[in-house]
Amino acid sequence: MTQTSLQTPIIYPEPDGSPMAESDPTRDYLVYGVESLKLYFQDRQDVYISGNLWLCYEEGVPDAVVAPDVFVVFGVENRPRRSYKVWEENGKTPDWVLEVTSKSTRHTDEREKPITYAQMGVREYFQYDPSGDYLKPALKGRRLVGNSYQVLTPNLLPDGTLCVLSEVLGLELRLLPNGQLRFFSEQTGEYLLTYVEQGQRADAERQRAEAERQRAETERQRAETERQRADRLAARLRELGIEPDM
């Protein structure tokens, strides 16, 4: 009797529905990074943006995974995924990665991930340390040159804002004087917003438009009141036999 060997299927990491524990700064900037970039690239169907998602980069090796805080892939379909498996995406790896780093993840973010991301071909790798645990300054960008990364030289604006250009995104990453990280578009001259921030801006614009409408209505009513007053005065003068000087 011939015994048939059964091959055990390979199980790759996927979300199990349990929330991952994150610090407030990490969660806040993960949300900002993913949402603001999704809004910025919302008209492009060939740009995939995600964060804190299992990224499997070697078929057949379930341990060959990372979960970047924020990452961008150009040239793949913009659709929801439970995980990102490189071999199912025509071998396309992320083009850009941001890690929200801290003292507890320093070794991984500074030593291990740059090697992994460089081997994957990630063109730019950024780190942001919102608590200032170890990065001085708190924003650091690297660009892949050959097989290794070179640290990008930041530019300092007159108001103390630190800027690092991402050629991959076509955006500046700006470290504001208060320590906040924001994406800035030279094309629009504006900072990128999250869904909530965009909604707040839309609400503020609606409120300004309503205030302007009410101001215009008040001016119209005032002018109408003045006209009616002038008409009454003119009528009274005519009753007295005086032709009003119009």
For 86, the 3-state DSSP assignment is helix
How does 184-204 read in b/e, with b if 16+ C-beta sit within 10 Å? beeeeeebbbbeeeeeeeeee
Mean pLDDT for the stretch of residues 52-64: 93
Q: pLDDT grade, residue 231 (50/70/90)?
A: confident
Q: pTM of the full predicted structure? A: 0.78
Q: Is 78 exposed, middle or buried (0-12, 13-18, 19+ CB in 10 A)?
A: middle
For residue 165, the cross-strand partners are 172
Q: Is the pLDDT score of 1 beyond 90?
A: no
CA–CA gap between residue 31 and residue 93 (Å, rounded)? 21
Q: Is the pLDDT score of 20 beyond 60?
A: no
Chain segment 114-152, per-residue pLDDT in tens: 999 999 999 999 999 999 889 999 999 999 999 999 999
DSSP 120-157: HT-SEEEEE-TT-SS-SSSEEEEEEETTEEEEPPPEE-
Query: Which residues, 6+ apart, have CB-to-CB distance to 85 below 8 Å?
Result: 12, 56, 59
Q: Is the pLDDT score of 21 beyond 60?
A: no
Higher local confidence (pLDDT), 7 or 230: 230
Chain segment 147-193, per-residue pLDDT in tens: 999 999 999 999 999 999 999 999 999 999 999 999 999 999 999 99
Q: What is the pLDDT of residue 2?
A: 43
DSSP 91-131: TPPPSEEEEE--GGGHHIIIIIHHHHHHHHT-SEEEEE-TT
Rama region for 217: left / alpha / beta (φ>0; ψ in -120 to 50; rest): alpha
Q: Which of 42, 56, 67 is nearest to 92 (CA)?
A: 56
Q: Is the pLDDT score of 19 beyond 60?
A: no
Higher local confidence (pLDDT), 15 or 51: 51
Given a contact cutoff of 8 angstroms between Cβ atoms, the answer to whether 208 and 215 are in contact is no
Between 45-59, 177-191, 198-212, the lowest mean confidence (pLDDT) is in 198-212
Q: What is the pLDDT of residue 84?
A: 97
